[in-house]
């Protein structure tokens, strides 16, 4: 069944058929076939645009994912850097504390060593001291009266 020319004109006037299609209608005998072809062409064009948009969406999603990965990597690197700095500061603090603790210990050790050496020296000369000095009684009394 072919539509009448009046129907075609009415469709054109209502805007259902484009002027481009009007040119084709004049050359076509089977208007239904022409509309079906036009529908297929539009469908194909729509699918192509849809695929392009999907490709753009996919590309956008890929870029967003890549940006998120880069952001996460940057954050991880910053965290690792902070952690290493903190560990380094802790190590420095421990070294400082150890040195601070070693200083009095070394001082005490040096004093003990000096006292030991003094006692050893006194012990060597013990034989030449008077009996009171050997006992340390007179010496201590004189120091306490001072």
pLDDT given for residue 50 in this prediction:
83
Query: Which segments of the chain have a pLDDT < 70?
Result: 1-13, 15-32, 34, 120-146
Handedness of CA 12, 17, 18, 21 (dihedral sign): negative
Judged by DSSP in three states, 57 sits in: helix
Mean pLDDT (the chain, rounded): 73
Kindly report, residue by residue over 68-105, the tens digit of the pLDDT.
988 888 888 899 999 999 999 998 888 888 877 777 77
pLDDT given for residue 1 in this prediction:
44
Instruction: Name the residue ranges covered by the structural domains of the chain.
Output: 1-49, 57-118
Residue in the structure block whose two tokens are 């297929």 = 40
34/57 Cα distance (integer angstroms): 34
Alpha helices in 19-30, H assignment, sequence order:
19-27
Judged by DSSP in three states, 100 sits in: helix
Residue pair 34/28 in contact (Cβ under 8 Å)? The answer is yes
């Amino acid at each position: 069944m072919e539509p009448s020319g009046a129907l075609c004109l009415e469709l054109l006037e209502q805007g259902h058929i484009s002027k481009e299609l009007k040119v084709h209608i004049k050359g076509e005998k089977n208007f239904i076939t022409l509309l079906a072809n036009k529908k297929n062409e539009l469908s194909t064009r729509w699918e192509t645009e849809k695929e392009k948009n999907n490709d753009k969406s996919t590309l956008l999603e890929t870029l967003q994912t890549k940006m998120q990965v880069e952001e996460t990597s940057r954050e991880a690197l910053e965290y690792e850097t902070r952690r290493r700095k903190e560990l380094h500061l802790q190590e420095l603090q421990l070294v400082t504390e150890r040195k601070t603790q070693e200083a009095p210990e070394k001082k005490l050790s040096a004093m003990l060593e000096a006292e030991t050496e003094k006692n050893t020296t006194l012990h060597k000369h013990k034989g030449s001291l008077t009996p009171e000095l050997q006992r340390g009684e007179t010496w201590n009394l004189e120091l306490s009266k001072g």
